[in-house]
Amino acid sequence: MLDVEFSILDFIQNQFRTPFGDFVMLLISKLGNGGIIWLVLSGLLCVFPKYRKAGVTMLTALALDVLLCNVMLKPLVGRMRPFTVNTGMELLINAPKDFSFPSGHTAASFAAVAALYFSGERKLWKPALILACLIAFSRLYLYVHYPTDVLAGILLGLIVGVAANVICRLAEPHIRKIIKS
């Protein structure tokens, strides 16, 4: 399986790498650092009452994602990154220090998209999905994740996005009671 994953990574390197692509993929990947783009978006959504539900759901999804992805799964699986196996690859970014599986950038991105979609925000989820896909691809382009890391990040993100929506729906009546008191 590892041979297939390296074949995919090498195909991306050989077919898509250009100076302009390097610039764009670096920029896109940086948007996903620490989930910053999703945190900013959810914070902005929380400011406006009409979008607050989506913002709170996104924040909940991102919190669940950090716990499951970064605190639990990455240390538990302990998968080394592709550039540590293929040491001949020159990285465009500083080498990440944490483990590879699952992709945190991807998981956070898809958690945000799922939270938007399932909370009923019909306008933003589509452009968010496009950005999430670009962020996921950037992690392969930059040679810092295996394809299965990215696939696992997508799956984990979707799961926590759905879970966050369920949690927020269940908590909403209780929060309304507290606010009225």
Selection from 107, 113, 180 nearest residue 145 by Cα: 107
The reported pLDDT for the residue numbered 148 is 97
Q: Is 31 exposed, middle or buried (0-12, 13-18, 19+ CB in 10 A)?
A: middle
What's CA 156's distance to the chain center, in Å?
9
The reported pLDDT for the residue numbered 176 is 67
What pTM does this model have? 0.93
Residue 175 identity (one-letter amino acid): I
The 10s digit of each residue's pLDDT in 42-90 is 999 999 989 999 999 999 999 999 999 999 999 999 999 999 998 888 8
Query: With contact defined as beta carbons under 8 Å apart, do 146 and 5 qualify?
Result: yes
Question: pLDDT of the chain along its 181 residues, tens only?
Answer: 778 999 999 999 999 999 999 999 999 999 999 999 999 999 999 999 899 999 999 999 999 999 999 999 999 999 999 999 988 888 899 889 999 999 999 999 999 999 999 999 888 999 999 999 999 999 999 999 999 999 999 999 999 999 999 999 998 887 666 555 5
